[in-house]
Amino acid sequence: MDYYNLAIKRESTRSFKKRPASGRQLTELQNYIPVCRRLFPEIAADVTVLGAGTPTLLNGCAGYHGLMIEAPNYLVISSAPHPHDVENAGFMGEDLVMKLTELELESCWITIRDPEEMRNRLHLPEDRRPMAFIAFGNATVMLPSSRLDIKSVSNIFIKQRTGFVAPKLAVDHAVYTKKWGESAEISSLPLNNSIYQAFIAACCAPSYLNLQPYRFLLDGHRVVMVCLPDEATASDDVRLNVGIAMLHFAGTMENHHPSDTGWIMGPPEGTAYDLPEGAQIAGYYEIDIE
Ligand SMILES: Cc1cc2nc3c(=O)[nH]c(=O)nc-3n(C[C@H](O)[C@H](O)[C@H](O)COP(=O)(O)O)c2cc1C
């Protein structure tokens, strides 16, 4: 998949036609599910495709303020426990969002508020916990260049999109040198540069309430992802955010340069970065360029 262009093209949709995805689209999606990207292939994680009865079935279990998004189709990723199960579900879920975007389907991540209740209502096995939940289908009239701008959970409105980074983090504000706060000035690179494209893709990633509570350090050939303290985002949503942004970065980077290791979780050994209080290293990525 062309991750860079798909990452730029994708935006959340909350208004869907009743018509479900076509048989061809659903077959292509089902064929892709077993080979979708994973952060940890060894984690047992199942993907279930659900239909239009889902909002009634899961009423109150999911969505901002418990408000479900009405769509003809949904994806649920349920996983066995693992220290990085949620990040892996975010990575897989966003890879499937990229596939949906390629199939010309629109989508929206939905917050899981009560995973236990959701597992019961979906009759998932005891050893699986639902971690990622995504609505998809065909959008009703799409405002051509608009997206949700969320100031807080009670102050959400549509804002005109002036460029692909707005209202997203701009790359020059998101990527620092190894010195916290010092811009790596990535935008001085040519636009076809793989590192520039991978950071643009990461900055276009969806996040809980669009808060994007993370930044990146570019230390030589190493990219370090740092999560900022953020009271609005619950820990599972922080971890989904991480997996999602990691997928955008890795997918785009690996369209140019295959990587043996991909993202490695946690801080790199033997290095100390001067981070703000409460900030934590989610993982790092060694760019494989000669
Ligand atoms: C973990 C996660 C949970 C989300 N939950 C919801 C939700 O419950 N309802 C909703 O309307 N959007 C939800 N979203 C979508 C975000 O609000 C959306 O990605 C963000 O506003 C950025 O807009 P964009 O996706 O158009 O770039 C969620 C996104 C993420 C990553």
Ligand 1 atom with the smallest distance to the CA of 204 is 27
> How high is the pLDDT of residue 152?
52
Q: Cβ < 6 Å from ligand 1: which residues?
A: 11-12, 14, 63-64, 69, 108-111, 147-148, 150, 206-210, 237, 240-241, 244
pLDDT of residue 157: 46
Q: Which atom of ligand 1 is nearest to the CA of 241?
A: 31
Question: Domain map of the chain by residue range?
Answer: 3-137, 164-286
| Span from the CA of 267 to the centroid of ligand 1 (angstroms) | 27
CA of 240 to the centre of ligand 1 (A): 11
pLDDT in tens, 214-251: 999 999 999 999 999 999 999 999 999 999 999 999 99
Amino acid 162: pLDDT: 39
Give the tens place of pLDDT for each residue, 35-74.
999 999 999 999 999 999 999 999 999 999 888 999 999 9
- CATH architecture type of domain 3-137: 3-Layer(aba) Sandwich (3.40)
Ligand 1 center to residue 110 CA distance, Å? 6
* Model confidence band, residue 8 (pLDDT cutoffs 50, 70, 90): very high
Which atom of ligand 1 has the smallest separation from the CA of 150? Answer: 21
Same fold, 3-137 and 164-286: yes
Tens-place pLDDT, residues 114-157 = 999 999 999 999 999 999 999 999 999 755 555 555 555 555 44
Q: Which two tokens mark 126? A: 């005891």
DSSP-assigned letters across all residues of 141-198: S--TTEEEEEEETTEEEEEE--STTTTSPPHHHHEE-SSTT-B--GGGS-TT-HHHHH
CATH dotted code for 164-286: 3.40.109.30
